[in-house]
């Protein structure tokens, strides 16, 4: 029988090594390799290719796109590129092999953003240590389905419960965290590293243990691509029913579900809502439309006003309701915006309107634009300010 065990070992070890050797004619490739000084080396074994490039989100934009950078080929056909020092963050990139943009074959860590899949890596240190899985107590991440009578469908969401939730008898405050256009209930947990950020902030005593509920803001959609009966279709940007009042109207279905399925501390002092871009827009309008519900509101790179011609009652009497929101026990109205964000000027104008009604808010202006780098940052700051 020991022959069989050996065969088992051989089968698996040879499959992973020889399959690559057969294709690459060499040893296993390590890519990316993050060096201690923050530079990163990428490697692609491609002796037959004429041109291998790399495009990463740390590279400058050229209009709407980034220009891939050439990798360098050695005499064995190994293409390499080493970056300058990158500051601590989670980065995403693709390789381009003879014009085909795809994922790094030596890196199993990937994240989907709408219809694109990127290889990812983390340069640690500083704020990026919050994005790592560290040796701290870990919360639970659950993918759940809830009933949304307002949308006449079952819908999917992601729930983070902090370490100890299941065995404690305590009630917990709730933080609703909303994605941007094109995202879904996977966006914050994957690109946003929400579970890691919350685990680490709670372990450091910087954030209160809380439940984080990550919804799907495309109310025409049941679930993230591949997770509904629509099958494994090619995702595209959803624009219908994303900013027409339906998300705001049916948000009560989410809250009903959460409050009847989790041990929730109720009341505005224990309820927060924040979102990025379109999710910031949703958070703005939901928070003013559900009076005395949300004590903490976060607008991350938020859009502010609805599309012309939108007639939803959820976008009426905006400043009147915000004035009421300001007087009804609001604890924190937090606005984060990047200096080069294309929504920057809209927020300048919105802040003028807020100032005109003596609204209390905090404004955090950062470098950069409409990026996950900023949104992870804003989450890391905002989460420490909740429920205290």
Query: Taking CB under 8 A as the criterion, which residues in 127-156 touch a second copy?
Result: 132-135, 137-138, 140-145, 154, 156
> What tokens were used for 347?
């927020």
Q: Which of 19, 220, 348, 356 binds a second copy (CB under 8 A)?
A: 19
Q: Which of 40, 81, 86, 181 binds a second copy (CB under 8 A)?
A: 181
CB distance 130 to 197 below 8 Å = yes
Residue ranges in 21-50 that form contacts with a second copy under rule CB under 8 A: 22-24, 28, 30, 44-50
Task: Find the binder of a second copy among 122, 190, 212, 379 (CB under 8 A).
Answer: 122
**Residues in region 324-353 near a second copy by CB under 8 A:** 342-343, 345-346, 349
Distance CA 250, CA 240 (A): 15
Closest distance of CB 203 from a second copy, Å:
12
Span interacting with a second copy, options 200-208, 211-219, 220-228, 326-334, rule CB under 8 A: 220-228
In angstroms, the CA 194 to CA 106 distance is 26
Can you tell me whether residue 90 is helix, strand or coil?
strand
Q: How far is the CB of 330 from a second copy (least distance, A)?
A: 23
**Interface positions, 238-267, toward a second copy (CB under 8 A):** 239, 243, 260-261
CB nearer a second copy, residue 102 or residue 328: 102
CA-wise closest residue to 175 among 88, 63, 287, 68 = 287
Bridging pattern class, strands 271-276 and 174-178: parallel
In the complex, least distance from residue 366 CB atom to a second copy, rounded to whole angstroms = 18
Which residues are CB-contacts of 157 (< 8 A; sequence separation ≥ 6)? Answer: 143, 144, 145, 146, 185, 213, 214, 215, 216, 254
Question: 357: cis peptide before it, omega within 30°?
Answer: no
When the beta carbons of 304 and 324 are compared against a second copy, the nearer one is: 304
Among 83, 92, 106, 148, binds a second copy (CB under 8 A): 106
Question: Out of 101, 206, 266, 313, which residue is the one contacting a second copy (CB under 8 A)?
Answer: 101
Contact call for residue 304 and a second copy (CB under 8 A): yes
For the record, the structure tokens of 77 come out as 């056909």
Q: What is the Cα–Cα distance from 384 to 377, expressed in whole angstroms?
A: 11
């Amino acid at each position: 029988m020991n022959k069989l065990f050996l065969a088992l070992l051989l089968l698996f070890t040879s499959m992973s090594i020889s399959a690559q050797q057969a294709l690459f004619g060499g040893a296993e490739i390590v890519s990316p390799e993050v060096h201690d000084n923050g530079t990163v080396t990428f490697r692609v074994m491609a002796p037959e290719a004429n041109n291998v490039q790399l495009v990463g989100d740390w590279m400058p934009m050229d209009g709407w796109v980034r220009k891939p950078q050439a990798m360098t080929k050695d005499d064995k056909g190994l293409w390499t590129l080493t970056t300058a020092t990158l500051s601590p963050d989670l980065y995403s990139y693709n390789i381009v092999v003879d014009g085909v943009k795809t994922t790094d074959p030596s890196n199993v860590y990937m994240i989907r953003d709408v219809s694109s899949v990127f290889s990812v890596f983390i340069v640690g240190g500083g704020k990026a240590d919050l994005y790592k899985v560290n040796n701290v107590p870990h919360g639970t991440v659950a993918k759940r389905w809830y009933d949304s009578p307002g949308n006449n469908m079952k819908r999917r969401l992601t729930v983070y419960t902090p370490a100890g939730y299941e065995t404690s008898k305590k009630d917990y405050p709730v933080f609703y965290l909303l994605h941007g256009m094109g995202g879904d209930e996977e966006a914050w947990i994957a690109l946003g590293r929400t579970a890691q950020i919350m685990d680490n902030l709670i372990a450091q005593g910087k954030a209160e243990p809380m439940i984080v509920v990550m919804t799907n803001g495309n109310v025409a959609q049941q679930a993230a691509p591949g997770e509904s009966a629509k099958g494994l279709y090619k995702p595209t940007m959803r624009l219908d029913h994303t900013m027409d009042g339906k998300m705001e109207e049916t948000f009560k279905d989410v809250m009903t579900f959460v409050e009847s399925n989790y041990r929730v501390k109720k009341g505005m002092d224990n309820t927060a809502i924040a979102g990025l871009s379109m999710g910031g827009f949703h958070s703005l309008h939901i928070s003013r439309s559900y009076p005395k519900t949300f004590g903490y509101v976060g607008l991350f790179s938020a859009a502010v006003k609805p599309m012309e011609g939108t007639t939803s009652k959820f976008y009426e009497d905006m400043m009147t309701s915000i004035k009421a929101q300001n007087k009804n026990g609001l604890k924190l109205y937090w606005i984060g915006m990047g200096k080069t964000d294309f929504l920057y000027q809209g927020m300048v104008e919105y802040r003028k309107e807020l100032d005109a009604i003596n609204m209390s808010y905090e404004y955090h202006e950062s470098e950069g634009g409409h990026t996950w780098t900023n949104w992870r940052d804003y989450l890391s700051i905002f989460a420490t300010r909740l429920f205290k």
